[in-house]
A and B are shown apart, each in its own frame.
Chain A
Amino acid sequence: MTQEELLEQIYKKDGKAFTALYDMYSKSLYGVIFNLLKDKEESEDVLQEVFVKIWKNIDSYNDSKGRFFTWILNIARNSAIDKLRSKGHKNSSKNLSSDNFVHILDHNTSVVNKIDAIGIKEFISKLKPKCIRLIDLLFFKGYTQQEASEELEIPLGTVKTQNRNCINDLRSYLQV
């Protein structure tokens, strides 16, 4: 199902739309949330919160705000960052950038995912370390170009194009 077909179902108030929405995006959003929180239980709580938010506010989405995926990605990132900043979080907010999505692979414990992880690791290893850091900051953590340029000590003007090149690499590996 494409995003457009999903949205059509949602606008038609089709009761099955929620299941489709969850099937399509839950893993991606969980990946983003976990990359920020580094705690499975907390991430599951936030993921639940995120889907409730999406469903509650779905009528306020329209495509002039951007892609639907981008809209729910923002909700997921913001909810995870809120959690991170909330009092008593297990990880200090200082560690926000110290880790990246590649390390998520080491946290995987299920047998099924371990087998998957071998293939994924191989594929990730093809990405340049610079790209992993850049995609991690911009996509997974929602850094601005300014913040990313400071964090990675690269010129602000090159952030956009460097990121473009990294995503191009990713696309060629994924063949999309």
Chain B
Amino acid sequence: MDIEEYIASGTLELYVFGLLTEDENREVKKIADEHQTVQAEILSIEKAVINLSHVVSPHLSSANYEKIRQQLIVKHSGESGVIQMQPKRGMAPYLGWAAAVVLMFGLALQYYKYNEANEQVRSVTAERSKFEQLTASLQQKNAKNETALNVLRDKASNVVPLAGQAVAPQAYATVYVNKDKNEIYVDISGLPKAPEGKVYQVWALKLDPLTPTSIGILSDATNTSGVFKVDNNNGAQAFGITLEPAGGSKSPTLDQLYTLGKV
């Protein structure tokens, strides 16, 4: 291609004026990329018409710039793909940043305080629920003791003392049989503490022939009074307490008989 001829054809002027088709535009761009003289020619033509239109333009007040800027900030700053605006001059942006920093600190402080207060509320709540549980269990225990005490005090209660046997001669226990209420309580505060993995089991005995019937396994760890309610058993002639493996046994382990007493 004769570059001089190409430049002289006037195509580059139309290119700058925006009067060529898309295909023609691409063609010019390609040639300009390959030939520095073509590129330089395009820049000169462009400079000439920019200057011409610039000098014939009426006075343009600077208020226009501010108006456009405002429009862009208001309408388009939130849209994607649109470049964020920066004011031309002034302290305003710095004040904005300063305010933002102050606000951030304020928010952080508030957030910290809020968390702290939340933490306090949480721990107070936990504390309270612990106390509530404790109170409830104390009330429960108290009610049990109250009932037990009532049985013990009841005139209708038949008191059966159980004496220590060969395994534990010092041990003792008491059975309270209340015929009115059909309830039996046993007080084992005189027995040594059951070793780990063992429990005391209470037996109602008929003597002729000797027939033991389990009326209770005393494994309630929360019971601190030593008074247990056991199953009722009409016609028991004697009561015995043996030490049995945890969970109790079907028949008493007689060599572990701690106490025994006749009605």
Q: How far is the CA of A29 from the CA of B50 in the complex (A)?
A: 9
Chain A nearest CB from B78 CB (Å) reads 12
- Shortest Cβ distance from residue B57 to the other chain A in the assembled complex, whole angstroms: 3
Residue numbers of B with Cβ under 8 A of A are: 8-11, 13-20, 22, 25-26, 28-29, 42, 44-61, 64-65, 67-69, 71-72, 75-76, 79, 81-86, 88
> Does the CB pair A15–B84 fall under 8 Å?
yes
Question: Given the complex of chains A and B, what is the CA–CA distance between A112 and B50 in angstroms?
Answer: 20
25 contacts between A and B (CB under 8 A): A19-B88, A26-B65, A31-B53, A35-B53, A44-B61, A47-B64, A48-B71, A51-B72, A52-B68, A55-B83, A64-B29, A66-B15, A74-B18, A101-B56, A109-B59, A112-B59, A113-B58, A113-B59, A116-B55, A135-B49, A138-B17, A139-B17, A160-B9, A170-B49, A174-B47
B82 contacts A55, CB within 8 Å? Answer: yes
Tell me how many residues of A have a C-beta within 8 Å of chain B.
72
Q: Point out the residue from B19, B48, B75, B86 that lies within 8 Å of A176, measured CB to CB.
A: B48
Look across to chain A and name the residue whose beta carbon is closest to the beta carbon of B28: A66
Q: Bound complex: CA of A34 vs CA of B55, how far in Å?
A: 12
**Contacting residues of chain A (1-51) with chain B, CB-CB under 8 angstroms:** 10, 13-19, 22, 25-32, 34-35, 40, 43-44, 47-48, 51
Q: A19-B88, A26-B64, A70-B15 are in contact. Are A171 and B48 (CB under 8 A)?
A: yes
Residue contact B69 to A18, C-beta cutoff 8 Å:
yes
The reply to whether the CB of A154 lies closer than 8 angstroms to some CB of chain B is no
Chain A positions within 8 Å of B64 at CB level: 26, 44, 47-48
Closest CB of chain B to A5's CB: distance in Å? 13
Nearest chain A CB to B28's CB is how many angstroms away? 8
Residues of B within 8 A of A112 (CB): 59
Give complex CA distance A108, B83 in Å.
34
User: B19, B52, B68: which contacts A170 (Cβ < 8 A)?
Assistant: B52
The answer to whether A48 touches B46 (Cβ under 8 A) is no
CB <8 Å contact, A163 and B14: yes
In the complex, chain A residues whose CB is within 8 Å of the CB of B67: 48
User: Is there contact, CB below 8 Å, between A52 and B72?
Assistant: yes
Q: A31 to B54, Cβ gap below 8 A?
A: yes
Q: A40 to chain B: which residues have CB within 8 Å?
A: 58
Q: Please, how many angstroms separate the alpha-carbon atoms of A25 and B58 in the complex? A: 14
Q: Which residues of the partner chain A approach B22 to less than 8 Å between Cβ atoms?
A: 65
Chain A residue contacts of B42, Cβ below 8 A:
67
A-B pairs under 8 A by CB, number: 179
- Assess the A160–B10 pair: CB atoms within 8 A: yes
Give bound CA distance, A142 to B16, whole Å: 11
Distance of B13 from chain A, by nearest CB (Å) = 5
Query: Are B49 and A31 in contact (CB-based, < 8 A)?
Result: no
Separation of A144 and B24 alpha carbons in the complex (Å): 14
Q: Which 7 residue pairs spanning A and B have beta carbons closest together?
A: A15-B86, A31-B57, A164-B10, A160-B10, A31-B53, A110-B59, A28-B53
Residues of A near B88 (CB, < 8 A) are: 19
Q: Contacts of A55 on B, CB cut-off 8 Å? A: 72, 76, 82-83
Chain A residues with CB under 8 Å of B83's CB are: 10, 13-15, 17-18, 55, 58
Q: Which residues on B sit within 8 Å (CB–CB) of A56?
A: 76, 79, 82
Q: How far is the CB of B118 from chain A (nearest CB, A)?
A: 40
